[in-house]
């Protein structure tokens, strides 16, 4: 049995760089032979995704087209990130099926052979391949009882890792070349056959011998067949034993979907050198600036896939209802006692997985870290290292009050690792303070990105709901870069640093003025709102009703035709909210969403005043 053991390079030979340079020059020389009349036009067509144009180019160039197919296929193997499907479909459009299959497979083998020589002889490392290595390592960790050949076959059948990265990985094992190249040559055949057949179907359609409906049916059938084949292997060999854990492909699928939504324009800088000596399991605590924070944290060099703690509300609906539990996510009912969360977290740690927690429990309204829900005693009982991570730059890129995302430099930094012994030796209050000091951030003070946009204040009234000058409620409006009061007419303008060009200084500065106005009225406060209510019990469909909310300095009360409950101030930690929409809380294990019938800006007021009255407010260092 050939175990998937990596070769240990003995260091690059002195002639290595020269030899690599000669190989590169030889490849460039070979490509330059076709440079003018086929290679550059083909690559341009590939960039434009013009499959039909590429096919016609190959047909027009005769025998050079044959070589181009194999050479481009080899090139995409070497570069890793160039998709192979384009050349495979193009060849299927251009040549008979058997010829297209041979040319593509030969190109793959040529690229795989060059990779083998570069890795085995010259110890060359591909950056693109290394970025995919974590996926392969995680898969191989679950396949420890399988041999290298089986693992490589499995990787070729899974739509997770580019073919080139698989070959870089296989070349770094002890697998002999003969067995390596035979595995590669046969492992890529299903994918090549599918792409070639799609191209052949397209050729038949363009020659009018195949109706459009049949073309579509063939393509759908081939895609479904390949998907079922891939799913069979994943289900039989990869999903086995991973269901309900962070190693499940369900987590990879969720992160993949979020990466598609997020896009690639945002620059994320990860500083995780402190992770080198941290072994799983561990607790990772992170401040919470934007909706995509968990995606940023996933880019840290975790030694094992982490489980993410998420708002239990997200597990009520749609795809998350299935993928959340399948992917090892841990639901948490916000700001309420939640014993299932404690049990799930402890079990996840016992299984050896890290757990990522955002102890604020909600997004920051003004860019300063919220007070943290106490958890030091719980972390100490888990008896694992505590990793503290700070995210900066994400608030202004995607604040909760603005729908449109801006581009910003985002830094994800592992600030401190508290060893389990050191955490156990601390007083719980001392550990709590250390965590809060380390995670605290003020986005207005620590951002270095310029924002030249002309609509920076849109939606800001849903946080800055009260005029900082005249004190009027719900008279502010974000217009362009200005926050304007319709009562007194005063306006405050945001500059390219997202700061106000006056004495208020910043969004937190404006927010503090609102706090001071509210603080002066707390003793006589009687906040009321007629609301439409949506109630979730996590088991049945949500219930809808109407009612009224009341908050004073001592209580929160909700009354409707079906329920009447009161929560004392000391039992209400916080009221999360969505800007201009709703505020929410748990009571008796049910989640209540309150939608004000008037002045939806007031959602931010309910949240702010509840924070000011919260028993946790005294721990906050944000003021």
Question: Look-up: residue for tokens 């999360």?
Answer: 576
pLDDT for the residue numbered 196: 61
Q: Which one has a higher pLDDT value, 321 or 50?
A: 321
Pick the CATH number of 249-439 from 3.40.1130.10, 3.50.50.60, 3.40.80.10, 3.40.50.720: 3.40.1130.10
- What's the CA gap between 11 and 206, in Å, rounded? 54
Q: What is the pLDDT of residues 375-405, one digit of tens each?
A: 999 999 999 999 999 999 999 998 999 988 8
pLDDT band at 76; cut points 50, 70, 90: confident
Q: Which one has a higher pLDDT value, 538 or 311?
A: 311
pLDDT above 70 covers a percentage of the chain that reads 73
Check whether 426 has a pLDDT greater than 90.
yes
Instruction: Sketch the domain layout of the chain as residue ranges.
Output: 16-231, 249-439, 460-516, 522-619
pLDDT for the residue numbered 364: 93
SS3 string, 275-324, reads HHHCCCCEEEEECCCCCCHHHHHCCCCCCCCCEEEEEHHHHHCHHHHHHH
Range from 56-70, 120-134, 225-239, 293-307 that averages highest in pLDDT:
293-307
pLDDT for the residue numbered 242: 72
Check whether 82 has a pLDDT greater than 60.
no
In whole angstroms, how far apart are CA 87 and each of 66, 83, 108? Answer: 11, 8, 11
Q: Which one has a higher pLDDT value, 342 or 70?
A: 342
Q: Which one has a higher pLDDT value, 111 or 345?
A: 345
pLDDT for the residue numbered 218: 63
pLDDT above 90 covers a percentage of the chain that reads 46
Range from 15-24, 162-171, 566-575 that averages highest in pLDDT:
566-575
pLDDT for the residue numbered 119: 86
pLDDT band at 266; cut points 50, 70, 90: confident
DSSP string, 88-100: HHHHHHHS-HHHH
> Would you state the structure tokens that stand for residue 288, as one six-digit string?
């919470």
pLDDT band at 161; cut points 50, 70, 90: confident
- What's the CA gap between 566 and 558, in Å, rounded? 7
In whole angstroms, how far apart are CA 132 and each of 81, 111, 163? Answer: 10, 18, 11
SS3 587: strand
Check whether 17 has a pLDDT greater than 60.
no
CA dihedral sign of residues 205, 209, 215, 221: negative
- What's the CA gap between 559 and 552, in Å, rounded? 15
Q: Which helix (H) or strand (E) holds 59?
A: helix 51-60
Question: Look-up: residue for tokens 């000011």?
Answer: 612
β-pair partners for 307: 355
pLDDT for the residue numbered 424: 95
pLDDT for the residue numbered 44: 64
Residues 6+ apart with CB under 8 A from 340: 331
pLDDT for the residue numbered 222: 63
The mean pLDDT of 225-232, rounded to a whole number, is: 64
DSSP string, 527-544: EEEEEEEEEE-SSSPPEE
Q: What is the pLDDT of residues 451-488, one digit of tens each?
A: 999 999 999 999 999 999 999 999 999 999 999 999 99
Whether 405 contacts 456, CB under 8 Å? no
Whether 382 contacts 349, CB under 8 Å? yes
pLDDT for the residue numbered 248: 78
pTM (whole model) above 0.85: no
Nearest by Cα to 116 from 175, 180, 156, 171: 171
- What's the CA gap between 310 and 331, in Å, rounded? 5
- What's the CA gap between 420 and 385, in Å, rounded? 5
SS3 595: strand
Check whether 158 has a pLDDT greater than 90.
no
Q: What is the pLDDT of residues 185-219, one digit of tens each?
A: 888 887 787 766 665 665 555 555 556 556 556 65
Lowest mean pLDDT among 125-139, 356-370, 524-538, 573-587: 125-139
Lowest mean pLDDT among 169-178, 496-505, 576-585, 602-611: 169-178
pLDDT for the residue numbered 284: 97
Half-sphere CA count of 280, side-chain side, radius 13 A:
17
Instruction: Evaluate whether the domain defined by 522-619 bears CATH number 2.30.29.30.
Output: yes
Indicate the pairing of strand 307-311 with strand 355-357: parallel
pLDDT for the residue numbered 256: 74
> Would you state the structure tokens that stand for residue 539, as one six-digit string?
């088991």
pLDDT for the residue numbered 600: 95
pLDDT for the residue numbered 438: 96
pLDDT for the residue numbered 163: 82
């Amino acid at each position: 049995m050939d175990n998937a053991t990596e070769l240990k390079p003995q260091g690059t030979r002195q002639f290595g760089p020269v030899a690599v340079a000669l190989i590169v020059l030889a490849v460039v020389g070979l490509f330059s032979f076709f440079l003018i009349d086929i290679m550059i036009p083909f690559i341009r067509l590939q960039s434009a995704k013009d499959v039909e144009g590429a096919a016609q180019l190959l047909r027009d160039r005769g025998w050079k087209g044959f070589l181009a197919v194999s050479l481009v296929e080899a090139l995409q193997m070497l570069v890793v990130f160039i998709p192979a499907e384009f050349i495979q479909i193009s060849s299927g459009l251009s040549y008979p099926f058997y010829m297209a299959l041979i040319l593509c497979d030969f190109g793959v083998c040529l690229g795989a052979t060059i990779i083998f020589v570069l890795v085995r002889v010259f110890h060359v490392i591909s950056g693109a391949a290394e970025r995919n290595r974590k996926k392969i390592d995680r898969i191989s960790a679950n396949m420890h009882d399988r041999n290298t050949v089986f693992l490589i076959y499995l990787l070729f059948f899974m739509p997770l890792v580019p073919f080139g990265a698989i070959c870089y990985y296989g070349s770094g094992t002890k697998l002999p070349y003969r067995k390596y190249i035979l595995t590669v040559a046969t492992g890529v055949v299903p994918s090549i056959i599918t792409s070639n057949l799609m191209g052949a179907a397209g050729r038949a359609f363009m020659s009018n011998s195949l109706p459009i409906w049949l073309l579509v049916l063939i393509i759908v059938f081939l895609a479904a067949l390949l998907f079922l084949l891939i799913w069979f292997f994943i289900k039989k060999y990869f999903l086995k034993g991973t269901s309900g854990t962070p190693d499940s492909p369900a987590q990879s699928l969720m992160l993949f979907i979020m990466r598609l939504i997020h896009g690639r324009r945002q620059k994320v800088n990860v500083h995780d050198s402190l992770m080198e000596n941290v072994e799983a399991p561990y607790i990772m605590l992170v401040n919470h600036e934007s909706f995509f924070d968990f995606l940023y944290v996933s880019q840290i060099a975790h030694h094992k896939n982490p489980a993410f703690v998420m708002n239990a509300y997200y597990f009520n609906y749609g795809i998350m209802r299935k993928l959340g539990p399948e992917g090892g996510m841990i639901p948490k009912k916000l700001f309420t006692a939640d014993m299932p969360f404690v049990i799930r977290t402890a079990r996840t740690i016992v299984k050896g997985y890290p757990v990522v927690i955002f102890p604020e429990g909600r997004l920051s309204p003004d860019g300063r870290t919220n007070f943290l829900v106490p958890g030091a005693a719980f972390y100490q009982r888990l008896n694992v290292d505590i990793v503290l991570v700070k995210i900066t730059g994400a608030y202004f890129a995607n604040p909760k009050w603005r729908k449109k995302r801006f581009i910003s430099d985002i830094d994800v930094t592992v600030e401190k690792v508290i060893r389990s012994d050191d955490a156990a030796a601390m007083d719980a209050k001392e550990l709590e303070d250390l965590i809060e000091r380390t995670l605290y951030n003020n986005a207005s003070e620590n951002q270095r990105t310029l924002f030249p946009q002309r609509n920076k204040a849109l939606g800001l009234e849903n946080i800055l709901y009260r005029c900082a000058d005249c004190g009027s409620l719900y008279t502010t409006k974000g217009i362009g870069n200005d926050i304007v009061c319709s009562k007194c007419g005063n306006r405050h303008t945001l500059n390219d640093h997202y700061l106000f060009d006056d004495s208020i200084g910043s969004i937190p500065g404006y927010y503090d003025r609102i706090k001071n106005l509210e603080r002066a009225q707390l003793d006589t406060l009687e906040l009321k709102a007629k609301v439409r209510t949506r109630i979730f019990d996590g088991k049945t469909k949500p219930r809808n009703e109407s009612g009224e909310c009341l908050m004073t300095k001592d209580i929160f009360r909700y009354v409707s035709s079906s329920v009447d409950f009161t929560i004392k101030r000391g039992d209400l930690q916080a009221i999360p909210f969505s800007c201009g929409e709703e505020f929410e809380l748990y009571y008796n294990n049910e989640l209540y969403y309150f939608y004000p019938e008037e002045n939806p800006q007031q959602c931010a007021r309910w949240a702010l005043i509840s924070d000011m009255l919260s028993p946790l407010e005294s721990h906050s260092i944000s003021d």
